Chains A and B, each alone.
Chain A
Amino acid sequence: MRVLAAMSGGVDSAVAAARARDAGHDVVGVHLALSAKPATMREGARGCCSVEDSHDARRCADVLGLPFYVWDMAARFSADVVEPFVAEYAAGRTPNPCLRCNEKIKFSAVLDRALALGFDAVVTGHYARLTDGVLRRAADAGKDQSYVLGVLTAEQLAHAVFPLGDSHKSEVRAEAARRGLVVAEKPDSHDICFIPSGDTRGFLDERLEQAPGELVDAASGAVLGRHTGVAGFTVGQRHGLGLDRPAPDGRPRYVLGIEPVSRQVRVGPAEELDVRSVAAGRPVWHAPWGTVDDVVVQVRAHGGLAPARVTVSEGSLTAELHEPLRGVAPGQAVVVYDDDRVLGSATITATA
């Protein structure tokens, strides 16, 4: 196959490209420039969008003997990932931009362009297993990224290659070193690539006209304090509420709900976070419509697993959880697993 390797400048995508080449594919490396004004140097372990990362990707391609280009995806990334990210927070929801990037950029804009230019597939350094169109969890449970790939359709998966699914991260790093790739020891990127400072709240404040509102006790309706704007709060959040008085029983309080219109943030005790039912929209489903029982749902990128009974129809998905989950935030994805197999995904709209 002619495959296009999306190379971030990190160790995973470099080894993925190398393995694709070793598998006999004709590989071309492409670094996606996602920021119109990239920083010159990477800041700490965060981000993958600096000129330094682009340089690292190029050096890996050089070492592997791959043709290499930079594709300017900044406008698409801004319109399809960053702007919706801000809008979702403004609406009181908690978006997952990595998932949207996979859905809208890597396996949409980039894949479409690659197919039109004569490539057969896009290869990435995601940790997930993909065989015969079936997406499964990675062998390395700590690195598994099937959650942020669950949104991909069968058509998208048909043109995806994930060469790292059977490997552990430590093996990938060792292999990078063996192959002479300078990124072998490069720290993992984490957090959100377009917020290299890690300050999501500050990022949102710069882009939204935030208005102050009240923090209210969910049970009594009593006003406990004020906040400077709803965007940035997440259901299940405990820290950064700015409440100087503890609850009467001395226990911590959590965000239970966010009301963007009234600008009220409802807070309460941990047990009020318990969710037994999840409603979600825009499902992508790889099994027959209907109900499946004894499956597992995952409601955030790390953790958040519960056995459930799931009913899917066109346009909606509901999950009745057999054990309660805490910190289930609208805007996040619910991904449904049968053992390690991804059955599908949808965007959480409501919980009960």
Chain B
Amino acid sequence: MTYLDHAATTPMLPVAVARYTEALGRVGNPSSLHTAGRRARKEVEEARETIAEAVGALPTEVVLATGGTEADNLALKGVFWARRAADPRRTGVVVSAVEHHAVLDAAEWLAEHEGATMHVLAVDAAGRVDPEELRALLAAHAGEIAVVSVMWANNEVGTVNDIRALADVAHSFDVPLHTDAVQAVGSLPVDFAASGADALSLTGHKLGGPVGVGALLLRRDASCVPLLHGGGQERDVRSGTLDVAGTVALAAAVRAAVDDAPRRTVELAALRDDLVARLVGEVPDATLNGVPLDAAPVGGGPARLPGNAHLSFPGCEGDSLLMLLDAHEIECSTGSACTAGVARPSHVLLAMGVDEAAARGSLRFSLGHSSTAADVDAAVAAIGPVVERARGALARS
């Protein structure tokens, strides 16, 4: 089996599995006052410190949550509510057109149910937000915006935004900035303090940790209204019994992924560049979406996620390609999956100006820590006949 869908979820790192399974055997609620509770609390706090240290945050800034979706919702809604409460004129929410649905749909919900005004930032043909675009929008709506959310790196096409520059612009209008960094942490150099972001979402299962645990990094001075009410375990911003095993495993995975990133980034980028070059060699009219592979660095790191290869295959339906590749035991993605499993043209590609037919004929291959040259060879060997057959299917329908 050739697994080229690491952006959807990546295998747990052995160190994370080991810490996870060890911890599962121990009892203890970190909020309990007895010995077992204190031991559990110690484990959680050590894990929190590890995570904080690895991503340039203070331990108190790590708000543990169930993953990217919860962290994104908490940031959007919680910061919106807090900012509006402090200044009722601030009812605007700014998001980029290529955000994950956890951000887009949260912003839409605020518009539909909380009287928010949603502003969508356009992106360029590579899927990147121009800080000057944000400046113009904030200048036109000075004093009206509660929160800005722009993703660190796009999950579909891998394009990296200059979060530092965007945060500087937002702050010059006294507006906090949230960034969805679930694809970035462990793949790109992420330093929360240096980024200037006020809030940052990360999740375990995209970097070698378990599913169901993640965090919102939230600046000490950022105010945020909770989504979940209860015991107030996490800074009174998030309630729910802490997941000791998940948190310990998350910390192990974050630590390992971040430590290994300088080496792995180079290795993955080389594999990815080889994959793209050879796929285009097999299918000469295939085109790479997102930034070029040799683009200048952004924010001191790669301009594109090192494991991301996103291509359009003219004359094909993405779901035909996916099914045929699956039959060849090659697992990739047509973009973001949808509730009914129905492939719709990606909102990310449409926002980049890709036409609907090309958007439907796209595949995302995403490499990760377990990827090898043999995976690249398998995909390259399969793609030619698969594209030919998929073209026949579209031509006949």
Query: Contact: A71 with B389, CB < 8 Å?
Result: no
- CB of A115, distance to nearest CB on chain B (Å): 7
Main secondary structure of the interface of B (DSSP, over half): helix
B396: interface (CB < 8 Å): yes
Residue with the greatest number of chain A CB neighbours at <10 A, chosen from B327, B340, B390 = B340
Which chain B residues lie closer than 8 Å to A116 at the CB level?
A: 389, 392-393, 395-397
Q: Which of B125-133, B179-187, B206-214, B316-324 contacts A (4 or more CB under 8 A)?
A: B316-324
Which chain A residues lie closer than 8 Å to B320 at the CB level?
A: 113, 117
Given A67-B326, A117-B324, A72 contacting B344 (CB threshold 8 A): yes
Quick one: which of B340, B389, B396 contacts A33, CB cutoff 8 A? B340
Query: Contact: B340 with A70, CB < 8 Å?
Result: yes
Which chain B residues lie closer than 8 Å to A113 at the CB level?
A: 320, 393, 396-397
Main secondary structure of the interface of A (DSSP, over half): mixed
1/0 per residue A189-217: CB within 8 Å of B? 00000000000000000000000000000
Bound form: Cα–Cα A16–B132 in Å: 59
B339: interface (CB < 8 Å): yes
Q: How many interface residues does chain B have, given as a range?
A: 20 to 34
How many residues from A make CB contacts under 8 Å with B? 22
Query: Contact: A72 with B343, CB < 8 Å?
Result: yes
Given A58-B341, A116-B389, A69 contacting B319 (CB threshold 8 A): yes
Given A116-B392, A117-B389, A67 contacting B327 (CB threshold 8 A): yes
A112: interface (CB < 8 Å): yes
Query: Contact: B326 with A54, CB < 8 Å?
Result: no
B342: interface (CB < 8 Å): yes
A109: interface (CB < 8 Å): yes
Residue with the greatest number of chain A CB neighbours at <10 A, chosen from B339, B342, B389 = B342
Residue with the greatest number of chain B CB neighbours at <10 A, chosen from A38, A72, A112 = A72
Bound form: Cα–Cα A318–B389 in Å: 43
- CB of A136, distance to nearest CB on chain B (Å): 29
Query: Contact: B397 with A112, CB < 8 Å?
Result: yes
Quick one: which of A51, A67, A69 contacts B339, CB cutoff 8 A? A51
Which B residues, 310 to 345, have Cβ-Cβ distances below 8 Å to chain A? 319-320, 322-324, 326-327, 339-344
A118: interface (CB < 8 Å): yes
- The 9 A-B pairs at the shortest CB distance, nearest first, are namely A116-B393, A70-B341, A116-B392, A33-B342, A112-B396, A51-B340, A113-B393, A54-B340, A72-B342
User: 10 other contacts beyond A69-B322, A70-B340, with CB at 8 A cut-off?
Assistant: A51-B340, A67-B323, A69-B319, A70-B319, A70-B342, A112-B393, A116-B395, A116-B396, A117-B389, A117-B390
Interface residues of B (CB under 8 A from A): 319-320, 322-324, 326-327, 339-344, 389-390, 392-393, 395-397
